[in-house]
């Protein structure tokens, strides 16, 4: 995660999202969930079904799989759950519905076709000067644009939100606030790409 200042404009988001229509189902859902959740590329790519609680709408990312070695509870918006449902139907049709991985081609290993996927998205979107980690910067920048406070943005990114004694005494996990922020982002993103999403329940500004 080298330092960069690149984030995607709304037009670029729309172009890349649209380009996923030409991708395989696994690649399409991977890119869309990567954008919707704002989490790190390989944290999403290696997601397993056992980490997901669809009824509660949560992704429980264990400390062993996070960069900062801290457990991260990621709220799942309805748009993410829709993509997960589509994947389940896809895998059942292929006879690999028992795979532990959410994103897989073989049913045995996590999705690994990132280089070709990037080339295809570059070609079909007309946008080339980006890397997958720029999605995460775009996510954070967009949260700022729609009025999400810095502490909540950091919590959504699984960055440290507490200093000093707060690390010891303030055990509140900001989960409800993260859910509201991710719902706001889902609504913004769906409007940007021309879809309608039921999570768009938060009043937002783009100033």
Starting from the edge strand earliest in sequence, which strands make up the sheet with 58-61, in order? 52-53, 58-61, 72-75
The pLDDT value given to residue 160: 65
Sorting pLDDT into bands at 50, 70 and 90, what band is 68?
A: confident
Alpha-carbon distance of 40 to 34, in angstroms, equals 8
What pLDDT is attached to residue 163? 54
For 168-192, the pLDDT digits (tens) are: 434 457 999 999 999 999 999 999 9
Secondary structure (3-state) at 48: strand
Q: Are 140 and 152 in contact (CB under 8 A)?
A: no
Per-residue pLDDT tens digits for 71-118: 899 999 999 999 999 999 999 999 998 899 999 999 999 999 999 999
Provide the angle, in degrees to the nearest 10, between the axes of the packed helices 175-193 and 10-19.
80
Beta bridge partners of 72: 61
List, in order, residues 6 or more apart from 90 with CB less than 8 Å away.
Answer: 25, 26
pLDDT surpassing 90 at residue 164: no
CB 74 within 8 A of CB 58: yes
Provide the 10 A C-beta neighbour count for residue 124: 16
Do residues 157 and 33 make contact, with C-beta atoms less than 8 angstroms apart? no
pLDDT tens column, 8-60: 999 999 999 999 999 999 999 999 999 999 999 999 999 999 999 999 999 99
Q: Which residue has the tokens 């429980």?
A: 60
Which pLDDT tens digit goes with each residue over 122-134? Answer: 999 999 999 999 9
């Amino acid at each position: 995660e080298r330092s960069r200042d690149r984030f995607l404009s709304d037009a670029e988001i729309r172009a890349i999202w649209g380009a996923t229509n030409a991708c395989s189902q696994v690649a399409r859902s991977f890119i869309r969930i990567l954008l919707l959740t704002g989490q790190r590329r390989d944290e999403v790519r290696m997601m397993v079904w056992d980490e997901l609680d669809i009824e509660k709408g949560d992704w429980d990312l264990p400390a062993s799989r996070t960069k900062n070695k801290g457990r991260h509870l990621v709220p799942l918006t309805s748009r993410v759950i829709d993509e997960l449902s589509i994947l389940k139907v896809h895998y059942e049709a292929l006879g690999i519905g028992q795979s532990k991985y959410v994103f897989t081609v073989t049913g045995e290993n996590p999705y690994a076709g990132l280089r070709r996927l990037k080339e295809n998205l570059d070609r079909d979107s007309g946008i080339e000067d980006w890397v997958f980690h720029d999605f995460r910067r775009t996510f954070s920048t967009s949260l700022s644009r729609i009025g999400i406070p810095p502490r909540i943005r950091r919590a959504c990114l699984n960055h440290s939100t507490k200093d000093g004694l707060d690390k010891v005494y303030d055990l509140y996990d900001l989960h409800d606030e993260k859910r509201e922020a991710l719902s706001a982002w889902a609504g913004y993103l769906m409007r940007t790409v021309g879809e309608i999403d039921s999570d768009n329940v938060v009043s937002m500004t783009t100033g």
